[in-house]
Amino acid sequence: MSYTCALLITLVVEALLALTLVAREERPVVLLACLSVNALTHPVASFLLARGAGSMEAIEVAVLCAEALCYRVALGPGLRRALTLAFVCNGVTWGLSYLV
């Protein structure tokens, strides 16, 4: 699978998941946050993986923490919401990466 394809699948799946996890009035902001957060972490994680900077599991955990932090910064108070978004979205795409 090409990198472009992997990035697009990640963006679409995580955006759809994020939209289902938040209230309707928050969706536009969460959508933008989700796309931004993934556009930040995905290339960096792919770069680290390609360089052999760590195992896939270690990089995924780092990505999860980074995304939770970014969600917290972008969306404001609510650490639980940031962690839920990061954990659920990444959990699903991580699982997908083994299937696709």
Partner 1 sequence: MRHLIAILPLLLCAPLHADCILVGYKGVSHTFEIRGLGDAPEGTRFCAYPVYIGEGPMSIEDGEHFSFYKSVSPRIYAYQGDLPVFDGIDRNHGLAVSDVELHLVSAVPEWQATYAIHTIYQFQGIEEDRVLLELMYETHYGAECDVVGAGDALLSSAWPLLPIASVLAILGLALRRRLRVSA
Q: Which region among 18-26, 44-52, 81-89, 90-98 touches partner 1 (by CB under 8 A)? A: 44-52
Least distance from partner 1 to the Cβ atom of residue 4, Å: 5
Give Cβ neighbours of residue 60 (< 8 Å, ≥ 6 apart): 45, 90, 94
* Dist. CA 67–CA 80, nearest whole Å: 13
Distance of CA 94 to the CA centre of its chain: 10
Q: Is residue 63 at the binding interface for partner 1, with CB under 8 A as the rule?
A: no
Q: For the chain, what's the residue count?
A: 100
Q: Decide if 75 contacts 33 (C-beta within 8 A).
A: yes
Residue in 51, 80, 98, 99 binding partner 1, rule: CB under 8 A = 51
Q: Is residue 40 at the binding interface for partner 1, with CB under 8 A as the rule?
A: yes
Contact residues for partner 1 (CB under 8 A)? 2-4, 6-7, 29, 32-33, 35-40, 43-44, 46-47, 50-51, 70, 73-76
